[in-house]
Amino acid sequence: MPRYESDVCIIGGGISAAMLAQKLSELRPGIAITVVEAGRSLFDLEKRMDYRRRSLDYGENPWPGDFIEDQSAKGIISRTMAVGGSALHWGGTCNRFSEEDLRLKSMFGLATDWPIEWKQLEKYYCEAERRLGVSGEPSPLPEDRASQPYPMAAMTLTHNLIELKKWAEKSGIPFWSTPQAKNTVAYDGRAKCIRCNTCAICPTGARYSPDFTFKRLLAQKKITLHDQTLIRKLVLHDTKSIVVAARGVNRARQDEPVEYRAPMFVVASGYAWTPHLLLLSRNSRFPDGLANKSGLVGKYMCGHSFRSAFIEIDAKIYPGMNEQHGLISRQYFRSKPDQPFVRHDLRIWESAAGHEPRVRSLDGKILLGDELLADWRNRAQRGTARVRGYVDTHPDRESSLTLDETARNRWGDPLPKIEHRLDPATLARQDRVREHMQGIFESLAKANNGKILSTSLGNYLDHPAGGCRMGDEPSSSVCDSYGQTHDHENLFVVGSPTLPTAGCTNGTLTFVALTLRSADRIARVRGARS
Amino acid sequence: MANRFEAWVRQYRPGAEMDHGYGVTRLRVKASSPAPAYLAQLELLHQPLADLDPSARRRAVEAALERANVRDLPRFPDGRHIISDLLSFYFHSSDANDLCYRAAIRRDSCRELEGSDNPPPPLNGAA
């Protein structure tokens, strides 16, 4: 069996792994870093314009081969498994959480506090924004003050967003440009955005994706990357509680068994595959899985619910100007302690909903040619806004990822099953939250002769996280605030799994910020040992 | 437009992976080519569409759509009927979007950020 040795073995090849590998290579030049990723490397920027075209014309996968057919999970929301992970096709939204997210228990008596101070996290937000290349405008709210400006000016608000902002702000709610990891000028060797309107497959590299970081690290010979290699088990020392090896299979070599040895292991495999690997690594001394003396590996799986509306308004909107960019309000990130708890962000995008071409009129008459066009034009005279609020919801302990013994991959490993459950306090305020959100949608609609076309509640928790939550107490958490597991001093988990709660806006920037903080600790520990 | 649709049919790839993006976890592949079904449908339309009377031709088209139970335009042509697929192909295009709004939005093109704060320019020759 091939055996590879390094100073740090990173398992997983998504955005957290990329940021960790990059920063470790800077902090500890010459350190041997191996990144092991189950999926393939899709380093084919030159083909992405063609992939984009096929996606637009045929609905084909713009990231061909970015999955492992039988490596699936019940309850997961993305199948992407490739070097770069879900951040290959993310929208690039880079919203910060707020201090309230870290102090839910002490401020509101809800869920739990994070074991980290806001000022500490804020410093790493700035670093994350610099490394990812975030364009944005500062929030005018003093509570959201950033200690460093965004590295790039905000994306130009299109005519559509200018119109939508004028409309929405009539309701008294301020909106501004959503920060994004998209270049408004050439940045860090990547091109300026040319508004292709297909950010899920950015054909130019203007939207950050981790493949760029990996390619650069490989070119500089700062890391070794083993893709198509699925780690199936972490192996403990015979007597000590330290991890000595990671064992898996090389899919590119007919599932050849392979072993990685290192004094330090970091699992950076996201909210699903990180707890899954720890549970799979159970042994006689840790029968419930590694890092799981607390019993909390795969518990407190979190995310946020979301409520959406399509609102028709009196505004001239031209669908297709830049559908991927939107407005955000942080007005409701705060919940007054003397008021019922409701926290959420509020987002607005251009939309063509309700104004698509149709082949039958409402009375069922078939429309063809000029009739169809006339019907379409008539309905498209008014604009549509897509409005959404990501609502702060908190997980129950039994919001879980478990091993599904009835579903196994080709190597015989049970696959994960994720079942989100909300805690009793969250469930108790559901009606109030619904009324609150409905009130906001109605206020927005009223502001300009608007009409709510539809409202909906998301049927899953978005921007999922958790499963290895951080905390100060080993009895109530899996790892500390740096991701160092309480049970194994040389085993870290980084990024999304460490979040105790998932906030009320997109999580990726927070996953990266926490990972960058972990990198500092890992570099220190590595330095002290060497 | 007919030529572009024909090219679309020729370049169709049965079995190609379909998008399984965020929130869509089921892996799916493109169905078999719609071309054989189109040929059969065209054969049936050949005679009625040869009629010189426009209203007769229209009735034939409507009857074909009724028989195929076409209720709406699919996002991508799906082989239900060549007429609805051709309508879908065109009316979901960036060009048709421009025609509807009488503006050069160029939804599916890569465009500079500069100037996007203004309304898109009027479409030359828009009806």
CB contact under 8 A, B105 and A203: no
State how far the Cα of B24 lies from the Cα of A97, in Å rounded to an integer: 26
Q: What is the pLDDT of residue A41?
A: 98
CB contact under 8 A, A359 and B8: no
* Residues A302-313, mean pLDDT to the nearest whole number: 97
User: CA of B4 to nearest chain A CA: how many angstroms apart?
Assistant: 11
Q: How many CB atoms lie within 10 A of CB A361?
A: 12
What B28-37 contacts at long range (C-beta under 8 Å, 24+ apart), as own/partner pairs, is B30/A58, B30/A59, B30/A60, B31/B78, B31/B79, B33/B9, B34/B9, B34/B77, B34/B78, B34/B79, B34/B82, B34/B85, B35/B9, B37/B79, B37/B82
A491-493 and A264-267 beta bridge pairing = parallel
**Which residue does chain B place closest to A315, by CA atoms?**
B119
Q: Is A320 exposed, middle or buried (0-12, 13-18, 19+ CB in 10 A)?
A: buried
Amino acid code (one letter) for A85: G
Residue A472 has pLDDT above 60, yes or no: yes
By the CB < 8 Å criterion, does A363 face chain B? no
Residue A178 has pLDDT above 60, yes or no: yes
Q: What is the pLDDT of residue A139?
A: 85
Residues 6+ apart with CB under 8 A from B13: A58, A60, B30
The C-alpha angle with vertex A182 and arms to A180 and A183, in degrees rounded to 5, equals 135
By the CB < 8 Å criterion, does B37 face chain A? no
3-state secondary structure of A6: coil
* Residues A65-87, mean pLDDT to the nearest whole number: 93
What pLDDT digit, counting tens, does each position of A261-297 carry?
999 999 999 999 999 999 999 999 999 999 999 999 9
Residue A332 DSSP one-character state: T
Closest CA to A91 of A251, A323, A310: A323
CB contact under 8 A, B107 and A197: yes
Residue A117 has pLDDT above 80, yes or no: yes
Q: What is the pLDDT of residue A140?
A: 85
Mean pLDDT of chain A: 96
Q: Smallest Cβ distance to B27: which of A69, A360, A366? A: A69
* Residues A347-372, mean pLDDT to the nearest whole number: 96
Q: What is the pLDDT of residue B125?
A: 57
Closest CA to B29 of B6, B9, B48, B12: B12
Closest CA to A163 of A309, A374, A308, A321: A321
CB contact under 8 A, B21 and A89: yes
A8-11 and A264-267 beta bridge pairing = parallel
B16, two tokens: 């190609």
Q: B-contacting residues of A 57-76, CB under 8 Å?
A: 57-62, 64-65, 67, 69, 72, 76
State how far the Cα of B80 lies from the Cα of A516, in Å rounded to an integer: 52
Residues 6+ apart with CB under 8 A from A378: none
User: CA of A186 to nearest chain B CA: how many angstroms apart?
Assistant: 13
Identify the helix (H) or strand (E) that includes residue A122. Answer: helix A118-132
State how far the Cα of A63 lies from the Cα of A78, in Å rounded to an integer: 13
Total residue count of chain B as it appears in this document:
127
By the CB < 8 Å criterion, does B33 face chain A? no
ipTM computed for the complex: 0.95
Q: What is the pLDDT of residue B26?
A: 85
Q: Can you tell me which residue has the tokens 């708890």? A: A341
State how far the Cα of A135 lies from the Cα of A482, in Å rounded to an integer: 27
3-state secondary structure of A86: helix
Residue A402 has pLDDT above 90, yes or no: yes
A435, two tokens: 């009324």
In percent, how much of chain B has pLDDT > 70?
Answer: 98
By the CB < 8 Å criterion, does A14 face chain B? no
Given phi > 0 = left and psi -120 to 50 = alpha, else beta, which region is A351? Answer: beta
Q: Collect the ranges in chain B with pLDDT lower than 70.
A: 125-127
Q: What is the pLDDT of residue B127?
A: 46
Number of A:B CB contacts under 8 A? 144
Confidence at A338, pLDDT banded by 50, 70, 90:
confident
Q: Do the Cβ atoms of A398 and A352 come closer than 8 Å?
A: no
Give contacts of B79 with chain A, Cβ < 8 Å: none
Instruction: Read off the pTM.
Output: 0.97
Q: B-contacting residues of A 423-462, CB under 8 Å?
A: 460
Q: Is A460 exposed, middle or buried (0-12, 13-18, 19+ CB in 10 A)?
A: middle
B69, two tokens: 């139970």
B1, B113, B118: which to substitute to probe chain A, counting the most A Cβ within 10 Å? Answer: B113
CB contact under 8 A, B73 and A358: yes
Helices (H), A133-257: 159-169, 210-219
What pLDDT digit, counting tens, does each position of A410-465 carry?
999 999 999 999 999 999 999 999 999 999 999 999 988 899 999 999 999 999 99
By the CB < 8 Å criterion, does B91 face chain A? yes
